[in-house]
Amino acid sequence: MPSDPLLSVRDLRVAFGGVEAVRGVSFAVRPGEVLALVGESGAGKSLTARSVLNMAPHDASVTGSVLLRGAPVTPADWGRSVAFVPQDALSALSPVHRVGAQLALAVRSVQGVPKREARARAEEALEQVGIPGDRLDAFPHEFSGGMRQRAVIAMATVNEPDLIVADEPTTALDPGMRAQVLTALAERRDATGASLVLVTHDLDAVREHADRTAVMYAGRLVEYGPTDRILARPRSPYTAALLASVPAGDTPRKSRLPALPGRPPAPGGIPPGCAFAPRCAHPTARCRTELPAPRPLDGSEVACHLDVLESV
């Protein structure tokens, strides 16, 4: 029997100056589950992820319901029950403080332990992500990009949060470092039992790590369900086109989304009806006027008017 969700997101909408960039997104994450958020750049993935943690930009208007164990997420949860791993590790680390001191501060601020104990815990946390403990007194600029991102993962998981949100944590890294960072993230998530929302363009990461996948387009979920089902038999023309844009057997570096013809609409220029209609291989007159509501289809939830998708 599925457990109650750890995170429940209902009709999340994020707007800037009255223009919605996230347009009614709903999903749930169970304890220990990994949910991948995928889609082309500008789909609203990162904004959704940040809004889930109550980290949307100050000028954003956010509505809808986001509940972690039944309660809204507040800044007091940051670094405790929820943690954020950004794309750019330098934005999460102070350049003027030693990595170990930053880790120890994170431990002390939540656990209230003595300095010596916090330092020992910081050293352990570094070693858990594959960084020798004797690098504790290094500054962030003395680490490689992959080490910095692993240090951020150590910082995010050192207080054993219930939920980690990772926003394209490997985008800036080369393939070797990317694998190391994803392995460190997966190992720490396994060890702590945390749930993970992984925003990514990397299909290999989705295939390898995500229990469920949510595909976003123009601020909405177009398909949401078990990863193996979505990757093997997508039901939305958008998901199918996105997957088809990745050549079979391609190298990890090339198996990154997207390479679809055309461009997604900007938030202020979303057409009526289905936003994907101008690029879709199967549009009907209905698609151009009626917004497709999410509905259950083959074990997933699909927002599309088509009942059967034969080909893309």
Q: Which CB sits closer to ligand SF4, 72 or 269? A: 269
Q: Which CB sits closer to ligand SF4, 76 or 285? A: 285
CB contact at 8 A, 195 and 30: yes
CB contact at 8 A, 36 and 200: yes
User: Of 38, 55, 92, 287, which one interacts with ligand SF4 (CB under 6 A)?
Assistant: 287
User: Of 237, 258, 267, 294, which one interacts with ligand SF4 (CB under 6 A)?
Assistant: 237
Structure tokens at 206: 């989705």
Q: Which CB sits closer to ligand SF4, 32 or 283? A: 283
* Span from 75-83, 94-102, 258-266, 279-287 in contact with ligand SF4 (CB under 6 A): 279-287
Residue 274 lies near ligand SF4 (rule: CB under 6 A) = yes
Beta-carbon contacts of 6 under 8 Å, excluding residues fewer than 6 positions away, are 29, 30, 31, 33, 68, 69, 162, 163, 195
Residue 256 lies near ligand SF4 (rule: CB under 6 A) = no
Residue 244 lies near ligand SF4 (rule: CB under 6 A) = no
User: E strands, the chain, where?
Assistant: 7-16, 19-29, 34-38, 61-68, 71-72, 82-85, 163-167, 195-199, 212-217, 220-226, 295-297, 300-302
Q: Closest approach of Cβ 302 to ligand SF4, in Å?
A: 8
Structure tokens at 17: 């100056």
Helix, strand or coil, per DSSP, at residue 88? coil
Residue 292 lies near ligand SF4 (rule: CB under 6 A) = yes
Could you tell me the CA-to-CA distances from 290 to 68, 243, 266, 294, 297 in Å, in that order?
A: 33, 25, 19, 12, 19
Cα(54)–Cα(278) distance, rounded to whole angstroms? 33
Residue 15 lies near ligand SF4 (rule: CB under 6 A) = no
Could you tell me the CA-to-CA distances from 49 to 152, 196, 213, 265, 283 in Å, in that order?
A: 17, 11, 14, 20, 30
Q: Closest approach of Cβ 105 to ligand SF4, in Å?
A: 48
User: Of 28, 138, 179, 306, which one interacts with ligand SF4 (CB under 6 A)?
Assistant: 306
Residue 27 lies near ligand SF4 (rule: CB under 6 A) = no
Q: Which CB sits closer to ligand SF4, 84 or 276? A: 276
Q: How many CA atoms lie within 13 A of 84 on its CB side?
A: 23
Beta-carbon contacts of 18 under 8 Å, excluding residues fewer than 6 positions away, are none
Using CB under 6 A as the binding rule, the residues of this chain from 217 to 236 that contact ligand SF4 are 236
Residue 165 lies near ligand SF4 (rule: CB under 6 A) = no
User: Of 155, 277, 294, 301, which one interacts with ligand SF4 (CB under 6 A)?
Assistant: 277
* Span from 52-60, 121-129, 180-188, 269-277 in contact with ligand SF4 (CB under 6 A): 269-277
* Span from 50-58, 128-136, 177-185, 281-289 in contact with ligand SF4 (CB under 6 A): 281-289
